[in-house]
Amino acid sequence: MYSYALLENGCHYLIQEKEDSPITLIQVTVESDHCLYITMFGDEEAMVWRRKNDPIFDIIELVSDETVKEWESLYNKDAYNYEEDDE
């Protein structure tokens, strides 16, 4: 069992919060003395505070910057594919 205290500010991780939960891509965006502000990427982005001592079932990997850029191009592509009909 791991905890959020192991995660570094500004980094992306693939984690599994609970044994039966899906794998989630997260980014640590703010760190305070006792908590981390986490952006969770799924169907929609969610921003939540987690205590540094909150458990994480598994930290699967620290995601490289190159992989994050590749993922962002796929994750954000639909935002640029919508065309409004002016008629």
pLDDT in tens, 41-52: 987 889 999 999
Residue 73 dihedral angles phi and psi, to the nearest 5°: -65, -35
43 vs 20, 25, 30, 40, CA distance in Å?
A: 18, 11, 22, 10
Separation between Cα atoms, residue 75 and residue 84, nearest integer Å = 20
Q: pLDDT tens for residues 11-50?
A: 999 999 999 999 999 999 999 999 999 999 987 889 999 9
- Report if pTM > 0.75: yes
| pLDDT tens digits, one per residue of 60-81 | 999 999 999 998 888 776 555 5
pLDDT of residue 35: 98
Average pLDDT, whole number, for the chain? 89
Computed from CA positions of residues 66, 17, 50, 4, in that sequence, does the dihedral angle turn out positive or negative?
Answer: negative
